[in-house]
Amino acid sequence: MRVLLASSSSGSQGGGELFLLSLGRSLAESGHHPILWASDHPRMQMLCEQFQRFGKIHRSSYVNTYDRRLRNFGAALDFGTAKNVAREWVSIRPDVVHVNKQNLEDAPDLLRAADQSGLPAICTIHVTQSAAFLHARQARLRDLVARQFLRGFTGPLVAIGKSRQSDLQKFLGADKPVFLVSNGVPIPQASDLEMERACTRSALPFDAGQILILGVGRMVQQKRPLLFLEIARKVADKIPNSSFIWVGDGPLRSDFEKLAAAVGLSDRILVTGWISEAAKYYAAADFFLHTAEFEGLPLALLEAMAAGLPIAVTENLAADFSFLDQAKAIIARSDSSDWAQPIADYRDRKFRGSSAHNVALEQFSLERMTGEYLNLYQSILHADPVLHSS
C-alpha cells in the first residue's frame, strides 16, 4: 500500500512530526510504501533527511498555518493552496492520504485539499485542546473555523489518546465520530537496555552511584522546563545523590541554564541539546519526570515507560492519562518534596518501572498502532460508510 503521510509542517522535532517518522518506518518494515509530503521550509529538512532512509519524500511550497499572519483564518480562505496541494497529491498516486495535524486549528487547507483530491483520506490530530482552553487570542473565532473544517472533513478523524478523543468529541459534537488510535512506540529488549545503560552511564559526567532523573522535550513554555528545574531543586535537597538530564533544546535553554546556576544545580544537570535518538538516555536514567502544561499523548512519556522507567508527572497530566495510576506513577508537586522519597528506593523504582513497562507493552506498542492505522486505511479503501461523515 502506498501511504502519503502529509505533514502540516510546523517543524521536525515536535512529537507530532516524530509520530510520522515512527509510523513511516513501521509501515516500511511491514512491507508498505510510505511517502512523506512536507513543506520545503528549512525547518522540515531534519525530518525529511531521517524519513528518506526508508521512504520517499515530496517537498512543496506549502505555507504552514503559523507562518501566516492571519493563522487559520488565512489558511481557511486560501482556496488556491488547497487546489494546488490536491493536484500534487493526485500526481503522487497514493492509495491513502494520511493528514497529520498538530492541533485543532492547524492546516484547514490540507483538510480541504484531501477532500478535493478525491483520494481516500484520514486525519490524525495530536493536541485537541481548544483555542479557548489555551487562552489564545481571538479564541472563539479560531475555534469556530477549526470546528467548521473538522466537521466538514469527509474522512475519519483520529485522536491519539482517550482523553484527546473525549476532548475532540466534545468540541465537534456527537454526530461527528472521532476514532481512537493511541500513539505507539518501539518496545526495547531488556538485554539491549542493559548494554546501553552501562555504555551511556560511563560517558556521563556523574558519579556511578547517582540516581538519574530524565526530562525530554523542546525547551518551550508548553513543556515547562523551568518547572522541571524547580522540582529538581527540591528533589536534590531530599536525595543528595540525585542528578538530572534534559534531552532537548529550544528558546528557553538560556533561561534554563541561568536558573540551574542560580539554584546550585549546574554540576548536577546535563542538557544534551537536540539529538535524533534519545534511547540511550532512557536506558541510562532511573526515573522520568514530565512537567508539560498540556499534551496530546507524548511519545517521550511512552518511550520512558517502554524502557521500564518509573514515571513522575505533574497533577495536570495525571488527570489526563488514566493509565498512570498510583502504582505506576508519582504525582510530582512543585510545592513539596515529600512525594520524592520513592525515587531513592531501588525496589520501589523497579516495581513502578516494571508496571509502566507492562502498560507500554500491552497498550502502546508501535506494532499495535501501525496495525490499527492499516485497518483504518483498508476500511476507507473499501468505502466503509461508518468511517465517513455525511
* pLDDT confidence tier of residue 385, bands split at 50, 70 and 90: low
CATH number for the domain whose boundaries are 2-184+366-387: 3.40.50.2000
Check: CB of residue 293 under 8 Å from CB of residue 287.
Answer: no
Query: How far from 257 is each of 219, 239, 274, CA to CA, in Å?
Result: 11, 21, 15
- Which tens digits make up the pLDDT trace of 229-269? 999 999 999 999 999 999 999 999 999 999 999 999 999 99
Would the pLDDT of 311 be above 50? yes
Fold match between 2-184+366-387 and 190-363?
yes
- Which tens digits make up the pLDDT trace of 340-355? 988 999 999 999 999 9
Q: What is the mean pLDDT of the chain?
A: 93
Pairwise pLDDT comparison (213 vs 70), residue with the higher score: 213
Check: CB of residue 257 under 8 Å from CB of residue 267.
Answer: no
Question: For the chain, what are the domain ranges?
Answer: 2-184+366-387, 190-363
Q: Of 159, 72, 176, which Cα lies nearest the Cα of 124?
A: 159
d(CA 28, CA 197): 29
pTM, rounded to two decimals:
0.91
* Domain 190-363 homologous superfamily, CATH: Glycogen Phosphorylase B; (3.40.50.2000)
Which element (helix H / strand E) includes 307?
none
